[in-house]
Structures are given as C-alpha cells and as structure tokens.
C-alpha cells in the first residue's frame, strides 16, 4: 500500500465519525468572527478541527497542519513547507450548517513537498464522500467520477459564489462586473455557499464550472485535487499560476470551457482591485 493511501485509510474513519456527529446537532448557536455578522463560526467548527489535528498529530508526529480555525486563533496562516501538511476546513459552508441547509461538509487536503496528494470531502447530510489521491482518479462513495466534459459556455451551469461579494469590499466590484458580463452567456448560475462542495459538483458533472476569488488554502486543498483527478481544469482566474496558499480559482469541466470564461472575464476591468489583503 502506498504511503498516501495509508494516510487516507487513517483519516477517513475520523472524518466519517465527525460528520455523523453533525447530524445529531440541534439548536446551533453561531458567533461572529472578526466582528462580522456574516462571517460565522460554531463550537462544532473548532471541535472537529481540534479532534482531527490531535488524532493525526498523535499518529504522525512530524506532520504539519493548516486549519481554518487554528489560523483564525493565531491570526496568521502558517507557511507551506515540504513536510506532509494537512490542510483542514472542519466545516465548509458554516452558514449553511447553521441554517441546516444540507450543503455543508468536512474538507481535508494533504500536501507533501508542497504538492497536493490527497483530497477528502464528506457531506454527512447526503452521505456523500468525495476522495482523490494524486494520479489515481476521483471517487464519489467509491465510484469513479469524471466531469461533465461540457465544452460550450452557453450550455454551462455555473456556480458563482456570490455570497462573498455581498459583504466583502475587496470583491464586490470584481464579482458584480463579472456577473454582468457572464449572466447572459451561461445557461444558469448557482451559489451553494460551500467552495469544497462546489468543486466536487464540478468533479462529478452536476455543474460545469465553479468560481470564487479571495478564498483560503482550506477551501481549495481537497476540492481542486478532486476536480483535476476527475479530468477537470483549475486555473487562477487572476491570470497568475494557481497558488494553493492564495487561491482565486476557476474550475471547469474542460480546458476549452476555461478559455471561454477567461476571454469574457479579461474584457472586464479588474485592475483596480486588490484581492490579496485579507484577514483570517
Ligand atoms: P466557510 O463556510 O468554511 O467559511 C462560499 O460561501 C465559501 O466561502 C465557503 O466555502 C465559505 O467557507 C467561504 N467563506 C464564507 N465566509 C467567508 C469569509 N468571510 N471569508 C472568506 N471565505 C468565506
Ligand atoms: Ca469560516
Ligand atoms: Ca471554507
Ligand atoms: Ca470553515
């Protein structure tokens, strides 16, 4: 068995167990992060992240961690090194979770030598487990998945994550100008509120494209590997090389579709925007 497969085998039961626990939760109380009512966290986010980090650390003493909630507590995101590094989003779609909208998941990625080698995303409400190991394809509940293969933007169902634009001054102008440019071109627009699941839905062909700028490594670490392993295409929509530590991503079923999105978006003036100034 490969080293990475053994890591998957170790972490999978922990994630399934944590996910199943979420199903029993009632009366979820959320608190505002950084004083923003629209940026919420619950005790379950912290509990799941702590449990995963503690258990993995006990087994693999030299492994490193980048988690959403430990980064928020430190007010900094650790630098990626060559060491095996678990990148953890304990609940992706916390706002959905608080409202009991069943589009929420646990997302875990692993990098070794700074390369994404493992992705695991579990939505307990749908009992859907998306997995990928580098070079070995992507799976939903053990069955191989591929993207839709869609090549035409006018037939494309597009998950554009509009929720951040409403609150985030860095992104509002960018999002709205792109929306105006794309709304008449694509077949339909969705905004599910979970980056990890949006990426999984591209990977399994439920939608054809996902885009969100200004996100964090834990939003992207598992899902972008799952998309690529499903035959999809991921780029940094700003035109720079994709950077896991500072992800602005467009994930599409095919490279052709990606080029069609980019040719429309490049016609929109975004030069005034600085999307890299963010708080954790
Ligand atoms: P989260 O639930 O883990 O915070 C779309 O809403 C995506 O953006 C989700 O994956 C969500 O992840 C993330 N998100 C929500 N609020 C955010 C914020 N204030 N800053 C950055 N990302 C956020
Ligand atoms: Ca959050
Ligand atoms: Ca997230
Ligand atoms: Ca989260």
Domain boundaries, the chain: 3-145, 153-265
Annotated ligand binding at 68? The verdict is yes
What local confidence, expressed as pLDDT, does residue 173 receive? 83
Note the pLDDT of residue 240: 86
91 is in an annotated binding site: yes
Torsion of CA 152, 153, 158, 161, to 10 degrees: 140
Where are the extended beta strands (E) located within the chain?
Answer: 31-33, 36-41, 64-67, 85-92, 105-112, 115-123, 128-133, 138-140, 143-145, 157-160, 188-190, 209-212, 233-236, 249-252
- The answer to whether the CB of 193 is under 6 A from ligand 1 is yes
Q: Which residues contact 3 (CB under 8 A, 6 or more apart)?
A: none
Domain 3-145 indexed as CATH 3.30.540.10: yes
Reported confidence tier of residue 218, pLDDT bands at 50, 70, 90: very high
Residues with Cβ within 5 Å of ion ligand 3?
89, 92, 219
Q: What is the CATH number of domain 153-265?
A: 3.40.190.80
Which tops the pLDDT comparison, 254 or 171?
254
DSSP states of 234-248: EEETTSSPP-TTS--
163: pLDDT confidence band, cut at 50, 70 and 90? confident
pLDDT of residue 169 exceeding 80, the answer is no
What positions carry a catalytic annotation?
Answer: 68, 89, 91-92, 94, 219
Q: Is the CB of 69 under 6 A from ligand 1?
A: no
pLDDT of residue 166: 72
- The bound ligand whose nearest atom lies closest to the alpha carbon of 95 is 1
Distance from Cα 240 to the centre of ligand 4, integer Å? 25
| 19: enclosing H helix or E strand | helix 3-22
Judge if the beta carbon of residue 72 lies within 6 A of ligand 1.
Answer: no
Q: How far is the CA of 203 from the centre of ligand 1 (A)?
A: 20
What is the pLDDT, as a whole number, of residue 270?
59
At residue 275, the pLDDT reads 63
pLDDT of residue 273: 57
pLDDT > 70 in the chain, percent:
97
Distance 103 CA to ligand 1 centre (A): 13
CB atoms within 10 A of CB 84: 20
Per-residue confidence (pLDDT) for residue 274, from 0 to 100: 59
Q: Which of 44, 48, 194, 248 for a ligand 1 pocket mutation test, highest count of atoms within 8 Å of Cβ?
A: 194
Residue 236 known to bind ligand: no
Ligand 1 pocket residue status of 147, Cβ below 6 Å: no
Q: pLDDT band at 86, cuts 50/70/90?
A: very high
CB of 92 within 6 A of ligand 1: the answer is yes
Ligand nearest 44 Cα, by number? 4
Closest atom of ligand 1 to 91 CA is 3
66 carries a ligand binding annotation? no
C-beta 164 within 6 A of ligand 1:
yes
Structure tokens at 267: 């016609």
Confidence of residue 181 (pLDDT cuts 50, 70, 90): very high
Ligand (nearest to CA of 190) = 1
Whether this model's ipTM surpasses 0.90 comes out as yes
pLDDT digits (tens, 9 = 90+) for 22-69: 999 988 999 998 788 888 899 999 999 999 999 999 999 999 999 999
Q: Using CA positions, which residue lies closest to atom 17 of ligand 1?
A: 39
Average pLDDT over residues 84-94: 98
């Amino acid at each position: 068995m490969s080293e990475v497969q053994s890591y998957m085998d170790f972490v999978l039961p922990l994630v399934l167990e944590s996910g199943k626990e979420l199903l029993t939760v009632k009366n979820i109380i959320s608190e505002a992060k950084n004083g923003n009512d629209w940026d919420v966290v619950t005790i379950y986010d912290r509990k799941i992240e702590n449990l995963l980090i503690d258990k993995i650390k006990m087994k693999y003493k030299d492994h490193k961690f980048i988690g959403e909630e430990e980064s928020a507590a430190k007010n900094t995101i650790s630098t990626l090194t060559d060491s095996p590094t678990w990148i953890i989003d304990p609940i992706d779609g916390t706002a959905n979770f608080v409202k009991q909208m069943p589009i929420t998941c646990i997302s875990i990625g692993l990098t070794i030598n700074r390369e994404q080698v493992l992705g695991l995303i579990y939505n307990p409400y749908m009992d859907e487990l998306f997995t990928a190991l580098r070079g070995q394809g992507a799976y939903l509940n053990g069955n191989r998945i591929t993207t839709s293969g869609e090549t035409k933007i006018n037939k494309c169902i597009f998950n554009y994550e509009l929720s951040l634009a409403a609150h985030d001054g860095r992104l509002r102008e960018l999002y709205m100008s792109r929306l105006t440019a794309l709304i008449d071109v694509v077949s339909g627009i969705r905004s599910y509120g979970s980056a990890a699941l949006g990426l999984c839905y591209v990977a399994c062909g439920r939608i054809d494209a996902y885009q969100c700028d200004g996100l964090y490594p834990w939003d992207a670490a598992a899902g972008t590997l799952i998309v690529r392993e499903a035959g999809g295409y991921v780029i940094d929509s700003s035109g720079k090389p994709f950077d896991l530590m500072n992800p602005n991503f467009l994930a599409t079923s095919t490279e052709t579709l990606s080029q069609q999105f980019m040719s429309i978006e490049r016609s929109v003036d975004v030069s005034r925007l600085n999307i890299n100034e963010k708080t954790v």
